[in-house]
Chains A and B, each alone.
Chain A
Amino acid sequence: MSKLEVKNLNMHYGDFHVLQSVNMPIAQHEITAMIGPSGCGKSTLLRCFNRMNDLIESAKIQGEILLDEKNILVKETNLIKLRKKVGMVFQRPNPFPLSIYENVSYGPKIHGEGKKRVLLEIVQKALEDVLLWDELKDRLKDSALSLSLEQQQRLTIARLLAVQPEVLLMDEPCSALDPISTQRVEELMFQLKEKYTIVIVTHNMQQAARVSDRTGYMLLGRLVEFDETQKIFTNPKHKETEDYVTGRFG
């Protein structure tokens, strides 16, 4: 069963048609990668899944996105609940300039958890899930900005896991990291997909090939091809996809 299902999605920024009739399923406990050249709409599509595009004034959106078979694009959608369920990791590691503890407990506090003991448990669990607990358990009061970029990105993932989401949206989560850190974050993604559904936008085709189960190739607002990752990279159906994945274009 699909966790998310995009149905005939169209989006405009003013007169600019950024997403054109996109249809795709996103399966539970899989990693779905979106690839394509800059400006193809892959990040915009990602931001539809937690309705972050609502922050942009000129954005107009038509079609359906079903989350657990319920359309999240209808007006009545509770954005707070939606974003609790569908969390996002951003391109640049962006911890708040607060302590490590305050960063991870930000979400649970926002959602009304007040008990110190419970918060500490949540923080520990989240940091364990991103393999930071052992490194950081003695410095929870330190500023999050004192961490390395990789640790910061793991921390932002922990901050997200602390609100117990079901879907993780990752917008080029490794583009600010060096290759070794990238590899470790990718290993983390493998572990996370056991529990979560992950959609990742990436510039890096090798990354898509390494981590994802399914891949969508986007070009100029269209979803050109969507298939199992292996097929996209070894035997694409479309010429445009082939040009891109073989490096002839992009």
Chain B
Amino acid sequence: MLKLHQPLLVDKAVKVLFWALTFFTLIILFFILGFLLKKGLPVVSWEFLTQPIRDMGKSGGIFPSIIGTIYLTLLGVVLATPLGVGTAIYLVEYTRESRMTRAIRFGADCLAGIPSIIFGMFGFVFFVITLKMGWSLISGALTIAFMVLPTIIRTAEEALKSVPQGYREVSFSLGSGKWQTVLHAVLPRALPGILTGVVLSIGRCVGETAAVIFTAGSALGLPLSIFDSTRTLSVHFYILAREGISMENAYGTAVVLVLSILLINIFAYTLMNRYISKNS
């Protein structure tokens, strides 16, 4: 029986416990990554990345899916960022804490809790059918924009709140208006935090399947306008695996998907660190 009056021993045991938990987490991560790379990496080649999809994905490459994913993600994030950041600025800078701001925040949290497949269904009914946009990049982008909106709002809100009140006071005391203060004194300081939210959103957009399959469709060709249907990497992976078309190509697609999300994150964090170290 462990004596509780041995703090040093307890400390050691606790340390080992937490080390083991951390180790376990890392093991899972590396197991998944290793498994994917082992199965998928042999498939990935220059041809795989640059060829069109052939025989429903049994052969050929995944070029249209890469392009479709990039378009859809960019479009979605470009739509969601101004909306989300604007809402956050309004909530933090232009209103005082009240029943209304709490209601808006609660609404955003609820939105964040809705499963993506429900967003997909909403997007299908509203954009694809009612607004007659069809299965298209724009339907998909609008849907995922709504899906990531809460993330962008809440991270931007936290980033704005973390800017010391002193900066606002100084700016006002020099005779700035509200917008000048927000633009010149607050936003530059909140930018890294806001970008974190945007990067998280990019990651979610790239990986999203359920919301996209209903709204952007699963066309095999290269999308040439925002009204064309496209099949993103994750949808392509889903179809290849679900319909048993080609497990090898499914793994290859998965590797490209996971590595690109990893690269996006590394790129974004480097950028952010550079920004932060330049400004502090």
Contact = CB atoms under 8 A, between A and B. Distances in A.
Given A55-B169, A106-B184, A97 B175 contact: no
B176 A94 contact: no
Contact of B175 (A55, A57, A81, A143): A81
Contact of B172 (A55, A145, A156): A55
Interface stretch (A84-92, A179-187, A199-207, A238-246): A84-92
Contacts of A50: 173
Contacts of A52: 169, 172-173
Contacts of B96: 57
Most buried by B among A55, A92, A110, A156: A110
Contacts of A125: none
Interface residues of B, number: 20
A97 B174 contact: no
Given A110-B175, A159-B174, A163-B175, A92 B279 contact: no
Contacts of B177: 80
A144 B279 CA distance: 10
Given A107-B174, A145-B280, A90 B167 contact: no
Contacts of A87: 173-174
A96 B185 contact: yes
Interface in B146-172: 166-172
Contact of A163 (B168, B174, B189, B280): B174
Contact of A83 (B167, B174, B279): B174
B101 interface: no
A72 to B, nearest CB: 14
Given A96-B185, A97-B279, A107 B166 contact: no
Contacts of B270: none
Nearest to B165: A55
Chain B facing A: main interface SS: helix
A160 B174 contact: yes
Given A80-B176, A97-B280, A110 B184 contact: yes
A111 interface: yes
A98 B188 CA distance: 10
Contacts of B51: none
A110 B174 contact: yes
Interface string B173-204: 11111001000110011000000000000000
Interface in B81-120: 96
Given A57-B96, A87-B174, 14 more contacts: A80-B176, A80-B177, A83-B172, A83-B173, A87-B173, A90-B166, A90-B173, A94-B170, A97-B279, A98-B188, A107-B174, A110-B175, A110-B176, A156-B170
22 contacts: A50-B173, A55-B168, A55-B169, A57-B96, A79-B175, A80-B176, A83-B172, A83-B174, A83-B175, A84-B175, A87-B173, A88-B173, A90-B166, A90-B169, A90-B170, A96-B167, A96-B185, A97-B189, A107-B174, A110-B171, A110-B174, A163-B175
